[in-house]
Amino acid sequence: MTRDWFLVNNTPVYVWALTAVYLSIVLFGPTYMRHRKPCNVPLWFIATYNLGCVLLSMYMTVEVKRAALKVCMYRRVEWICIAVCSQGNVSTVLSSPETHP
């Protein structure tokens, strides 16, 4: 299922290539940029960008927590369903779900 995904196939060539590119940028980037002038970016642009990053991070945090809670709820329901199937008493489990962890 995941064999066709980028970076997840059977060969580690892509991962090693990206690692080499990253390390070359980190190691040789400061040398290349040593004599260049910094960009003049307006303060409003930087503040808007930072606010956007903070809002996006908050949104992603909420979505991850929701997804984790959904998985926990699903596993809890699955566990209750297994208990119902093994006991054969549907009315007891459905009427009092707080008795099951």
Please tell me the predicted confidence (pLDDT) of residue 82.
54
Residues 93 and 83 sit within 8 Å (Cβ to Cβ): yes
Per-residue pLDDT of 67-94, as tens digits, reads 877 776 666 555 555 554 555 544 444 4
The whole-model pTM stands at 0.48
Buried b / exposed e over 3-40, threshold 16 CB at 10 Å, is eeeeeeeeeeeeeeeeeeeeeeeeeeeeeeeeeeeeee
Please tell me the predicted confidence (pLDDT) of residue 2.
67
Amino acid identity, residue 89? Answer: N
Q: Where are the domains of the chain?
A: 37-99
- Read off the tokens for 31: 């040398």
Residues 83 and 100 sit within 8 Å (Cβ to Cβ): yes
Place of tokens 């809670």: 69
Please tell me the predicted confidence (pLDDT) of residue 79.
54
